[in-house]
Chains A and B, each alone.
Chain A
Amino acid sequence: MSKTQNNMKSEYLVEVKDLKQYFPIKTGFMQTTPLKAVDGVSFAIKPGETLGLVGESGCGKTTVGRSMLRLYTPTGGEVIYNGEQVNASTIKHMRKEMQMVFQDPYSSLNPRMTVEDIIGEPLDVYKLYSSKGDRRDKIIHLMELVGLNAEHATRYAHEFSGGQRQRIGIARALATDPKFIVCDEAVSALDVSIQAQVINMFEELQDKLGVAYLFIAHDLLVVHHISDRIAVMYLGRVVEIADADELNDKPMHPYTQSLLSAVPYPDPKMAKERKRIVLEGDVPSPLNMPTGCAFRTRCKYATERCAQECPSLTDRGNGHQVACWNK
């Protein structure tokens, strides 16, 4: 088993195969219905690459990130890191290599801990230092790496601004020297001017340390800027994956097309010339999913086939994968 896995180990750092994550929802007395938050998602990330994951709220993008790191126990499918399957027993040593940066820099840092302790905690867990002095040096190095003043190590999180807090969260994620970081809406809570600082830092860290990112966000301009490839999700499934520029220039799935056309573009002339493809209606409830293709209720190209069978991702050349019967 391990031999065949080693042979496959070549290209990808992280592979997600048919990942499924259902949550039981109480619908009556002693009755539950599965809410299919993620329903058969597959993708792969190369070392040092950034894969952007976009979609609207409730499409399951955050759940994908959390299931990959086993913050939830997946209902089905597998996650392979560096040729090794991620499961309940292997995750303990793997979390050293796979880390996460959370959206809200206010609630993701313990208010009773100093910055030194927050960043030092992963070092403690994995015993990554030889002496107290070594621990302190490592913390100072990490703080400098993310652009924090090392003199502030003894302060508490509330003494910092939103952007600085997010830097603390990133330093904590980098403490164990990971190869892969899930950034879950890591810049969404920040103001535009601060957001640009943090995005630049993510890019610099990637150049310096060679980490791969799964960059989950709803802001398409930001995702396009930072990502090498982008995956678009709709109601628990990936509908399109392509190279970032290719996806932006030639979106194929009708959902991606309307999503891109709906992004308000910060340029008055372009905004007036451009035609928005406005989708009718709302996203269906994941508890009551349409049969076949989940997007068909809002799709203007929908045919009978869309209602009966769910399309799977197929390659249309250049690694541009689309799940649509009509495109």
Chain B
Amino acid sequence: MSENILSVKNLHTSFRTDNGEVKAVNGVSFNLDKGKILGIVGESGSGKSVTAYSIMRILESNGDISEGQVLYKGQDITKFTEKQMREFRGKCCSIIFQDPMTSLNPVFTVGNQLKEAIQLHTDRKGKDAEARAIEMLTLVGVNEPEKRVKQYPFELSGGMRQRVMIAMALACEPDILIADEPTTALDVTIQAQILELMQDLQKKFGMAIIMVTHDLGVIADMCDEIIVLYGGRVCERGTAEDIFYRPHHEYTKGLLCSIPNVDKIGEKLIPIPGTPINLLNMPKGCAFCPRCENAMKICIEEVPPEMQMPDGHFASCWLNVKAEMEAKQGGKNNE
């Protein structure tokens, strides 16, 4: 039995804006086990990044966790004081961002920034911290680390900067690493290097990774478990095989049909009709129902419940409820 390290329960996060309240996350729940890679996938505005930021509590000042719990080893971090949060960030849970240029400070050297994290969270000081910084850079495959610690972020390439970010995130050996679109700004060949590195480091350190991305390819490559978000709600969650081979939510099915596939060359793509969701004007029922071709009356009125599928994964779609009810009725009729 694997050890649960983080569990998010019914998380709601919203932002106050001039146009009204934007409900970015509406009741997201999931569990993360030790040493597992969890993928959060969704399109822009699905609430995937906000979920990640809520776990770290690094939301913008107009954003709030309005409901729900984030339990780290049984402790609810939404109740933590700012001082406790500083302990939590970096040591227990770290994050790397999409754009490695804007997330590094341009006026300090790479070594300086790495040392800051190490000195804050460990007993290592001065020379000792610098040695650790060099050790971390070597670990993430930065060549000539002694020279690099004295360089500024602008002197490094995009791939190198992302390696520095990873080194910084892992310097205090956290239990959880959140990667928010870590390779989106990088080229394919550099992306392959970084993904390979993350897999290696995961094996070495045994930390759990939450991988936030819109790229289904990256998700398929990296993740043990996947949750699919749409309009701030979980559509479907399960293992990678469940999601890719046995999708049970109309949105997941649509998403998988709309990516070009080598096996289906020459065939037309099947896009999802309509436009992405407007978070200011959320539908009353299922968030996906305005774009769903099989939507029923109940989909417009009520939010679908999460239901366990025969193979053990979870999906929130009224069609599954209907299918089960029909199966039951069919069974009765046969009797």
Contacts and interface: CB of A to CB of B under 8 A. Distances in A.
A binds B: yes
Interface of A: 56-57, 161, 163-164, 191-197, 199-200, 203, 218, 220-222, 224-226, 244-245, 248, 258-259, 261-271, 276, 278-279, 282-283
Contact of A196 (B217, B219, B221, B258): B258
Interface stretch (B17-25, B67-75, B82-90, B189-197): B189-197
Interface string B230-271: 000000000011001100000000111111111001001111
Nearest to B183: A264
B276 A194 contact: yes
Interface in B193-242: 193, 195-196, 214-221, 240-241
B276 A245 contact: no
B240 to A, nearest CB: 4
A264 B260 contact: no
A267 B255 CA distance: 13
24 contacts: A56-B190, A163-B275, A191-B276, A192-B216, A193-B43, A193-B255, A193-B271, A194-B271, A196-B258, A196-B270, A199-B269, A221-B259, A222-B260, A224-B262, A224-B265, A259-B189, A262-B192, A263-B188, A264-B218, A266-B256, A267-B244, A268-B220, A268-B240, A278-B189
Contacts of B260: 199, 221-222, 224-226
Contacts of A225: 260, 265, 269
B221 A278 contact: no
A200 B245 CA distance: 24
Contacts of B240: 268
A181 B159 CA distance: 33
A259 B220 contact: no
A267 to B, nearest CB: 6
The 8 closest A-B pairs by CB, nearest first: A264-B217, A196-B258, A196-B271, A225-B260, A262-B192, A193-B272, A56-B187, A191-B43
A278 B196 contact: yes
A115 B156 CA distance: 42
A161 B157 CA distance: 33
B261 A266 contact: yes
A263 B69 CA distance: 37
A192 B214 contact: yes
Contacts of B255: 192-193
B186 to A, nearest CB: 9
A278 B192 contact: yes
B55 interface: no
A214 to B, nearest CB: 18
Contacts of A244: 265
B44 interface: yes
B189 A56 contact: yes
B188 A218 contact: yes
A248 B196 contact: no
A114 B307 CA distance: 47
B247 to A, nearest CB: 12
A161 B44 CA distance: 12
A185 to B, nearest CB: 13
A153 to B, nearest CB: 18
B43 A258 contact: no
A220 B188 CA distance: 9
A259 to B, nearest CB: 6
Interface centre among B157, B216, B259 (most CB of A within 10 A): B259
B170 to A, nearest CB: 20
B52 interface: no
A268 B238 CA distance: 13
B152 to A, nearest CB: 17
Contacts of A270: 220
Contacts of B244: 266-268
B76 to A, nearest CB: 33
A200 B269 contact: yes
A161 B275 contact: yes
A179 to B, nearest CB: 24
Contacts of B218: 264
B160 interface: yes
Given A194-B276, A200-B268, A203-B268, 18 more contacts: A56-B188, A193-B43, A195-B271, A196-B258, A197-B271, A200-B269, A221-B260, A224-B262, A244-B265, A264-B220, A264-B221, A265-B217, A265-B220, A266-B219, A268-B241, A268-B244, A270-B220, A283-B187
A218 B258 contact: no
Nearest to A277: B192
Contacts of B217: 221, 263-266, 271
A308 B315 CA distance: 60
B192, B215, B240: residue with the most chain A Cβ atoms closer than 10 Å: B192
Given A196-B269, A203-B268, A268-B240, A262 B262 contact: no
Contact of A221 (B190, B191, B262): B262
A247 to B, nearest CB: 12
Interface in B269-284: 269-273, 275-276
Nearest to A59: B187
Contacts of B258: 192-193, 195-196
A269 B240 CA distance: 9
A264 B191 contact: yes
A276 B192 contact: yes
B286 to A, nearest CB: 16
